[in-house]
Structure 1
Amino acid sequence: MLDALTHTTSPSPGSVPIGPQHGAAGSSNSSAGNTQPPARQQTAHGQHGQPQEGQNYISFKLDEKTAHSSLDLIRKDTGVIYRMIGIDPTKIPQNLERFREWAVVLGDTPVSAGRHYWEVTVKRSQEFRIGAADADMSRDECIGVNTRSWVFAYSHKKWHAMLANKTIPIVNIGHPAKVGLLLDYEAGKLSLVDAEKHSLIHTIAAKFLGPVVPAFGLWDGELLTHSGLVVPEYL
């Protein structure tokens, strides 16, 4: 279920279909012109490699057990490449956790409290989805097509927020090489962040009712994830 959402800027009229149409809850666009000074990006560890006290952060890898057969995990399971042919499904371990119909993979670390931030570098992809999902969502559905996943989708050179069979256009973002995601569990918010301009772009409001994990859908190119980051000061 979704909370009502307040728009801070007016979205462009209409919406462009992105794969199966499902998904939308309330969401809000934020101006890319954030006037606050950019904060230096930090990892969640201090100079001596110890977590800094009182900070929320998520450190995860992609869970191979959930990856569709068209997706190859790379860089020690922190990135994913889409293969047009893919792996023969009969040659990969079959289990109930694997997505069977859609090119989706989930992160391996669930979140059930706190504020958490991670980033995604996009390479040579014209169609992908990034966000979060219930850890036990159906493996027969794509992320963004139900009320158990919350995603930002890029397709046909346009961005949309997706949830519950609806899409909401996101304007004034372009195609940044790296974007961030901020998940605030208690507040029920997932935000898309321009990691290069240090500005919040758009927020989806939702009620998280159980553990959620980072979620990724990819239909060409590759995505690299960057976790273990503290929430930037400007957020």
Structure 2
Amino acid sequence: MIVPNIKQNHYTVHGLQCGTKYIFMVKAINQAGSRSSVPGKLKTNSQPFKLDPKSAHKKLKVSHDNLTVERDETSSKKSHTQDRFTSQGSYGVTGNVYIDSGRHYWEALIGGSTWFAVGVAYKSAPKHEWIGKNSASWVLSRCNNSWVVRHNSKEMPIEPSPHLRRVGVLLDYDAGSLAFYDGAGSQHLYTFDITFAQPVCPVFNVWNKCLTVLTGLPIPDHLEGTDCQD
């Protein structure tokens, strides 16, 4: 991107992508010649989002700030919506954004839960099935001491650290990848290679305790590639 004829000593750049590293340089030009500034670096944060209460299963409770979801047998009085998870056992909730470009990173803080799933899904993913049990969703799931990644009912076991407390999710929509990490360390857990056909939204299942989402984060330095946008 080249911006010519800047007259002021400040300038606002619009249209930067989320979760991207940029390098900026200013070049001064006059009749005597030209000179470039020292490059400046900028890293944009990922797309922020919250949980969508209208999608939450009737056995789930979403906090007032829409960042925490917990299993709650008493919270069954919810109106039916077409986006709400409905099946017995499919205790799901989605994020309130659909992503169709760029790189995005978020984390799920495990609030004592030993049975949960974290991933992404198309809007068309069935709400009466567990996420990962169909061709429209991809997840990392834990059930007690068993950890798996799942898509279209196919599972693969993984072995995270026994002390894992935050699941990091790195979505690169344009490159077609969904990667899971230990959010408190650098351990890579698994990467799905996906040819996305639709926008995707973050999605979560919680069968006990709670999860809290941490969003609008910069992509951690150790997960960044070496290439920058300029």
TM-score bracket, shorter-length normalisation: 0.7 to 0.9
Matched, 1:96 2:82: yes
CA drift at 1:107: 0.2
1:63 deviates by 0.4
Give the Cα separation in 2 of the matches to 1:147 and 1:123.
29
Amino acid at match of 1:64: P
**RMSD of aligned residue pairs (Cα, Å):** 1.9
Give 1:137's aligned residue.
125
Deviations 1:25-79 (A, max 9, x none): xxxxxxxxxxxxxxxxxx97xxxxxxx9673611000001100001000150011
Aligned partners of 2:140 and 2:180 also within 8 Å: yes
Q: What corresponds to 2:71 in structure 1?
A: 82
Change in 2 beyond 3 A, CA 1:123/1:58: same
CA distance in 2, matches of 1:172, 1:65: 32
CA gap of 1:86–1:146, structure 2 versus 1, over 3 A, is farther
* 1:150 equivalent in structure 2: 138
Q: Which residue of 2 aligns with 1:66?
A: 55
Aligned residues: 183
- Spell out the pairing of 1:177-192 with structure 2 (5 A cutoff): 177-192=165-180
Go from structure 1 to structure 2 and tell me whether the alpha carbon gap of 1:164 and 1:233 turns closer, same or farther (over 3 Å shift).
same
Amino acid at match of 1:225: V
Q: Deviations over 1:164-183 (max 9, x none)?
A: 11110102432411121001
* Equivalent runs, 1:195-206 vs 2, <5 Å: 195-206=183-194
Partner of 2:205: 217
Distance 2:51 2:104 in 1: 16
Which deviates further from its counterpart, 132-141 or 209-218? Answer: 132-141
Q: After the TM superposition, list the runs of 4 or more consecutive aligned residues in structure 1 that deviate by more than 6 angstroms.
A: none
- Aligned-pair identity (%): 32
Render the CA deviation track for 1:106-148: whole Å, top value 9, x for unaligned.
0001100111000111012110000111123221222110110
Tell me, yes or no, if structure 1 residue 168 matches structure 2 residue 156: yes
Q: Is the Cα–Cα contact under 8 Å of residues 110 and 210 in structure 2 kept in the other structure? A: yes
The structural deviation recorded for 1:230 is 1.4
Query: One-letter code of the match for 1:61?
Result: K
**Structure 2: stretches of 5+ with no match in the other structure:** 1-17, 20-40, 224-230
SS, match of residue 168 in structure 1: strand
Which residue, out of 96, 103, 108, partners 2:96?
108
The reply to whether residue 117 of structure 1 matches residue 109 of structure 2 is no
- Kindly indicate whether structure 1 or structure 2 has the higher relative contact order, using CA contacts under 8 Å at least 6 residues apart: 1
Partner of 2:54, secondary structure, is helix
What residue number does 1:31 align with?
Answer: none
